[in-house]
A and B are shown apart, each in its own frame.
Chain A
Amino acid sequence: HLIVTEPVAILKASEVWGALRGLETFSQLVHEDDYGSFLVNESEINDFPRFAHRGILLDTSRHYLPLKSILTNLDAMAFNKFNVLHWHIVDDQSFPYQSIYFPELSDKGAYSSNLIYTPTDVRLVIEYARLRGIRVIPEFDTPGHTQSWGKGQKDLLTPCYSGGQPTGSFGPVNPVWNTTYDFMAKFFKEISSVFPDEFIHLGGDEVDFSCWKSNPEVKEFMKKQGFGTDYAKLESYYVQNILDIVSSYNKGQMVWQEVFDHKAQLKPDTVVQVWMANNYAHELSSVTGAGFTAVLSAPWYLDYISYGQDWKKYYSVEPLNFPGSEKQKKLLIGGEACLWGEFVDGTNLTPRLWPRASAVGERLWSSSNVTNLQDAYRRLTNHRCRMLRRGIAAEPVFVGYCTHEAR
């Protein structure tokens, strides 16, 4: 609750996080006149977010992102009232996370020895985010997307076979060995203590079954378990074990939608992230219909750049436009704009993410009836110039200028 009158302005919030949001709003109310004086109009504001989970996904595996990039981005997130940094920290291409229990993972898996995040770096990100009211949810995506894990951890990934012989290449994490779960138990124990947020994202997307199918031990295991030829069951078997491990550390879990789609047994408070663009409204119905909380990313893959004012299409998404009861709709707790890293690093991250992500930010915070594109355009161009003044190299929305251009 923000009241601006003479001679004082008062900001009231029940928690410090609300105060942070109110301070951001207050800072945006202050404007400069032609003589350089700072003014603020008498106002009274009662504000609250529509959705509780308003996130940005950054991918530091396809390209290493220098700390400065991540911290600048956290600043920009705060200016746009985002409150979750979904840190997709490792993947196939590189493993920059320096693990305390398993230093070989980054020793062998990072792009190079200086392109890593040390425990100090990680702590810095978490604290910088915390001071801005931003949760850091790390994602350690398994069993797919794990090529880089195999460099530093022998006998973790599944050896692929061809004609009865190992080919030398590897597939997803091997779900049939006990050592896999010993490793994961120890690894996630570390992650649970390093990252203070209640939730950890466990991934579970795009698991390619072909390597599993080629491996004799895996085939044998499938028979023993009675899974037949349904490898989705094997994937679920693996995922369920990881969910149990992570639960035992008192952490909640976020997963990509495949985990739900392939019918793994999820904990009741598992959050399902819906990312597949095709018919995502239907997926939201299914997920919430089954009683699970959902987070929407499908229409907000900001790495999919295209010519023109694409912010409009991100702004026009109505997350609750899916068939479902009131109760179901309450289970959609928010969304995340994703900036996958195949074509993104420190040289282009900020202009590519901002101000396009601002459209998502408003959609997730503001009321459902705030949809007018002309009005949004006017405020967005203004806000973009504001971000420039504050040192965020947000790219232009359209033709025009800011009085204070980027330096």
Chain B
Amino acid sequence: AENEPSWETPCSKLLVYVSTPGCDGFPSLDSKESYKLSVSKGSMLLSAETIWGALRGLETFSQLVGRDENGTYYINETQIVDFPRFPHRGLLLDTSRHYLPLRAILETLDVMAYNKFNVFHWHIVDDPSFPYESSTFPELSKQGAFNAMTHVYTASDVSTVIEYARLRGIRVIAEFDTPGHTLSWGPGAPGLLTPCYIGKTRSGVYGPINPIVNSSYQFVTSLFQEVSTVFPDYFLHLGGDEVDFTCWKSNPEIRAFMVDVGFGEDYKKLESFYIQRLLDIVSSLGKGYIVWQEVFDNDVKLRPDTIIHVWKESNLQYIKEMANVTRAGYRALLSAPWYLNRISYGQDWIEAYKVEPLSFEGSPEQKALVMGGEACMWGEYVDVTNLTPRLW
């Protein structure tokens, strides 16, 4: 009859055409993810410049397939030309506040692929625990993990994550946050952290990495040498957020150093002193870096290809920050309005959806410096029991 859908020869093949080979490579910030999908009677064609575009197209194709009341799979005739607005679409997981078993990370990577995310920002260590098994410094996880046998990521675990992500067109950007957020580094690296003082005596408590001793720089050089080889992405996230100056201020050697170098009482200068040396170390290892916004806010001298990660949210300050960062010529990533760990009652997805990353005052050149953003799932209240329903 005229109006019945004609289930003719069922479509059985999707032809995938990729113009640039690259199945063995890794995705990067510059990867082209565009694709064309053409579905018509008799032929289904997916074409993309790169394998990464083909992956995105396959995801779209899989979402176009429907099922009718009889159980028959069908797909509508359709023409799609698709490409991402932003090249960096990331998700942050925190495996220090709570250890996340491998399967939780792999499951997250699957769902990221379903949602066309392409960056897994692995905030792997922090104050509470150090689950990363370092081959150069095995004591770090031996002393710093919640449990060195059961709550660690072995080298094999890490390469599993990297490969699982790669197959889904997802970059893995590891974050080893310093000089703050490093309490768990202390037990396995004696002498690394600043000893805090009460008056003239050590209090027994430790603070950020000690920026005035050469051993600290030797240590981070060796560690980042390892991290640079383990993680193939061009970028490393170096952290640099929320450095608490109280411990540094309490330490008499540091106070003496501040006088010697003429920093006075401006501890931001000491923080910059550390960060600058760290950035030089990391670039000499051939890596690019992403840093949290404090590094920019505190006037640290940065390489022009540094990416600034904007996260501070109160009073919508992030809109001004995006303008400032891009006006200074740096590329920016937006996370501030997307802290998904900050749950609230109701359909909060709406607020996240309404965010317009480019809604700041700036020239088109500035806006072109926004690489994208990241949804962050900090782990204070999150582990494998509630990660997936909280994120998705």
Residues of A near any B CB (own CB < 8 A) = 303-309, 343, 347-348, 350-352, 388, 393-396, 398-401, 403, 405-406
Contact = CB atoms under 8 A, between A and B. Distances in A.
Contacts of B129: 401
B104 to A, nearest CB: 9
Contact of A307 (B97, B151, B344, B386): B344
Contacts of B385: 350-351, 388, 393-396, 406
A396 B343 contact: no
Given A305-B345, A306-B344, A395-B386, A401 B147 contact: yes
Give the one of B101, B344, B381, B388 with max A CB within 10 A.
B381
Given A351-B389, A405-B384, 17 more contacts: A306-B344, A307-B341, A307-B343, A307-B381, A343-B345, A343-B347, A388-B385, A394-B385, A395-B381, A395-B382, A396-B383, A401-B151, A405-B150, A405-B151, A406-B383, A406-B384, A406-B385
Contact of A405 (B343, B347, B383, B386): B383
Contacts of A309: 381
B128 interface: yes
Interface in B268-295: none
Nearest to A347: B389
Give the one of A304, A351, A352 with max B CB within 10 A.
A351
Interface in B161-200: none
A399 B380 contact: yes
A305 B389 contact: no
Contact of B98 (A306, A350, A394, A400): A400
A398 B381 contact: yes
Nearest to B388: A347
A400 B379 CA distance: 10
Give the one of A347, A388, A399 with max B CB within 10 A.
A399
A113 B383 CA distance: 35
A292 B343 CA distance: 38
A348 B389 CA distance: 6
B344 A348 contact: no
B341 to A, nearest CB: 7
B130 interface: no
A398 B127 CA distance: 14
Interface size class of chain B, counting residues whose CB lies under 8 Å from the partner chain = 20 to 34
Contacts, number: 70
A377 to B, nearest CB: 14
Interface in B127-145: 128-129
26 contacts: A305-B345, A307-B342, A307-B343, A307-B344, A343-B346, A347-B389, A348-B386, A348-B389, A350-B385, A351-B385, A351-B386, A352-B386, A393-B385, A395-B382, A395-B386, A398-B381, A399-B98, A399-B380, A400-B98, A401-B129, A401-B151, A403-B150, A405-B99, A405-B150, A405-B151, A405-B383
Q: State the 8 A-B residue pairs at the shortest beta-carbon distance, nearest first.
A: A351-B386, A348-B389, A401-B146, A395-B386, A393-B385, A399-B97, A307-B342, A399-B128
A300 B150 CA distance: 36
Nearest to B146: A401
Interface in B360-392: 379-386, 388-390
Interface string B96-120: 0111010000000000000000000
A125 B123 CA distance: 43
Give the one of B147, B341, B379, B389 with max A CB within 10 A.
B389
Nearest to B145: A401
Nearest to A351: B386
Contacts of B388: 347
A403 B146 CA distance: 9
B103 to A, nearest CB: 9
A398 B347 CA distance: 24
A401 B99 contact: yes
Contacts of A305: 343-345
A388 B98 CA distance: 15
A400 to B, nearest CB: 7
Nearest to B341: A307
A350 B390 CA distance: 12
Contacts of A388: 385
A308 B383 contact: no
Contacts of B390: 348
A146 B119 CA distance: 47
Contacts of B99: 401, 405
